[in-house]
Amino acid sequence: MLNSIINMYKTKLILSFLLLFYSCSDNLKMSDKPLNVVWISCEDMGPILGSYGNDVIKTPHLDKLASEGVRYTNAYSTVGVCAPSRFSIITGMYSARLGAHNMRTGDYHNYKTPEEVSYRKSIGVIDKEGKNIPEYEVVPPTYVKPFTEVLRTKGYYCANNFKCDYQFNAPFTAWDEVSSTVSYRDAPKDKPFFYVWNTLLTHESRIWERSNQPLTVNPEDIIIPSYFPDIPEVRNDIARKYSNIEAMDKKVGELMTQLEEDGLLEKTIIMFWSDHGGNLLRQKRAVGNSGLNVPLIIRYPNKMDAGKVDNRIVSLMDLGPTVLSLLNIKPPEHYDGKAIAGHYEESARKYVFGTADRFDESTDMQRSVLDGRYVYIKNFMPELPLIYRNKYRERITMNSKLIQMDSLDMLDGDAKYIFMKTKPSEEFYDLVNDPYEVNNIINDPKQADKIDNFRFALENWQKEINDQGFIAENKLVQSFWPNMIQPKTENVEFKIRDDGLYELTSITNGASIGYQTDEKIGTNSWSFYHEPIIVGNNQKIVARAIRIGYKASEITSN
C-alpha cells in the first residue's frame, strides 16, 4: 500500500514537471516563426551593476533588463582576457584544451577577408623556451566550428557588430555579415536572426581614451577595492571606469528601445554579458574571482521568469549551447559548454576552471577552480611576480602610478599584497569573508579537506582536457603550422546530381564552404553551404572553402 502511494506521488511529480517544462516551451514559442536572439556583449567588467548591488553606478536600463529577466550571480569566463575567452565562447570549448590559451595569436579583433589577413614574423614575444613567437592562427580539430554555423544551417541570419577576436581570423562562413554598421534590421524579412552587438565603452583602453570626457560619477563616491591605495589617481580612474559603464548602459537602453519600437522585444531572447572580469590591476588577466566573475542576464519574451536570480555555476562557454537549446537545436556532443536553459538543458556544474598563460609580451601559467564561494589557484611559475609588467595596461594612469609606488616601497597592506615579488605555489580564498582575495588561507587546517577537493578537481580537469599550457608556445605553433607554413584549404569542387541539385565539396577535412550567386558574387557576403542547392540554368555560382586556421581556398565556379 505504501509503495503504491509513493509511486502515485512520483507519477504526479513527473507529470507536474513535464507540464511545467512544456508550459515554459509554449511561453517561449510566441508564434510559428522561430524566436530571435540578441547578444549584448560588453568588455572587461565584473558584476558591478545596480542590479548586482552597486548603488554608486547608475545603470537603469540594465537594471530593468535584470528585473524583466533572469540574473545569474555565478557566471564566469574561462580566461580573464578577451581573445582566449572569446575563443571559448564561439567554439564552446576550453582554450587550454585546444592550444588557444595564449593572449593573443594575431590581429583578429575584427573580421578580415582572406586577402586582408597578414602575419608578422616577430611581435616581441618570447615563449618559455626563449623562442620567438610570430603571429599565427590556432588550428583546432576538424569538428570544431563556430556555433553560428549551426544556426545558419537552421535558417538564421547571423550578424555581428562587430568584434570577433577568436585567436583565428573569423571564417567567412561564421557570419552573414560582420561590420560596425550591421544591425538586426538587415535580416531578411523571412528569416529569424541572431545578432551580436558589442560595445567597447567599458574596455580597459577606454579609461585612457575617454579621459577627456566628463565624469558622470564623482571620484569621492567610488568604491575602492582594498588592494588599491586611496590616492587621487585611483579614485579618478575608477570614476572613469564607472562613468564608462554608465555610458554603456545608455547605449543598451537605445538598443532596447529600438527593439521595442520595431515590435521585436517580445519575439527576442536577449542575453547581456561581459567577456571577462574587471579592467584594472588584479582584475583583467587575473585567474581568480576578480578576473573571471562576470554579469549575465537573460531576458525572455513576455518577461518569462522575470526577476529570477539563478545561483548556478555557469561558464561563458555555455552561451552558445544555451542559444541552440533555447531554439530547440541540439548542441554538438563535443562541446565543453553546457546548455543552462531550453530543451537541452544540462545538469549544473560544480566548478568552473580558469586559465592564465601568456598575456602579450608577458608569460606566466596559472590555473584556478571556483565554486561561487571559494577560489583555488595553482601557480605553475611561482618565481614570477603576481603583477608583471605589461605595456598596454600601464597606459592607465593609476596602474603606472602604483607600479612606481611599489618600486619606491610606498605600498602597504592589501595593496602591497598584490605586488608580491614571487607567488605562493597555491592560493585559496573564501569570498564570503574575503571578497577581494587578499587573505590566502591555503595553510588553514580547517580548510584542508576542502582544499584537497579543489586540488583533485583541478588535477582531473587538466588531465581530462590534456592542458596545453604545459607545452611551449613555439611547439604549439609548429603543430598548427608545420615548418611555419600555414596549410591551405583545398578548392571547392562542383557536382551536379541526377536530380539537378549541386553538391559542393572540398577534400580538406573540416572545411566549411561558402557560396555566392549572381549579384552577390564579389561581395563579402557568403551563403553557408550545408545541403545540395538549386542553381538555375543561366545562374552563375562561385564557392570558397575555409578551415579554421588555414588559408582559404581559391574562389572557384561551376
Residues forming the active site: 82
The answer to whether 553 and 544 have CB atoms below 8 angstroms apart is yes
Scan for cell 533572469, then name that residue: 70
- For the record, the C-alpha cell of 372 comes out as 561561487
Neighbours of 306 (CB within 10 A): 13
For the chain, what is the total number of helices (H) and then of strands (E)?
Answer: 12, 18
Sign of CA dihedral 505, 507, 510, 511: negative
- In sequence order, the β-bridge partners of residue 381 are none
Residue-wise burial string across 228-248, b where 16 or more C-beta atoms lie within 10 A, e elsewhere: bbeeebbbbbbbbbbbbbbbb
Closest to 75 (Cα-Cα) out of 310, 377, 241, 299:
310
Contact 155, 192 (CB under 8 A): yes
Closest to 64 in 3D by CA, of 203, 259, 223, 293: 259
Contact residues for 380 (Cβ-Cβ < 8 A; gap 6+): 365, 366, 367, 469
E-strand ranges in 330-388 read 352-356, 366-370, 374-379
Please report, for residues 118, 132, 137, 477, the alpha-carbon distance to residue 472 in angstroms, rounded to integers and kept in the order given. Answer: 23, 11, 16, 9
Q: 388-396, long-range: CB within 8 Å, 24+ apart, which pairs?
A: 388/362, 388/364, 389/362, 390/285, 390/359, 390/360, 390/361, 390/362, 391/360, 391/361, 392/204, 392/205, 392/360, 393/204, 393/281, 393/284, 393/285, 395/205, 395/208, 396/204, 396/207, 396/208, 396/237, 396/280
For residue 307 the three cell numbers come to 526577476
Q: How far is CA 84 from CA 98, 105, 293, in A?
A: 10, 9, 15
Stretch (H or E) spanning 38: strand 36-42
In one letter, which amino acid is 324?
A: L
The size of the chain, in residues, is: 558
CA atoms of 530 and 148, how far apart (whole Å): 13
Separation of alpha carbons 453 and 466, rounded Å? 20
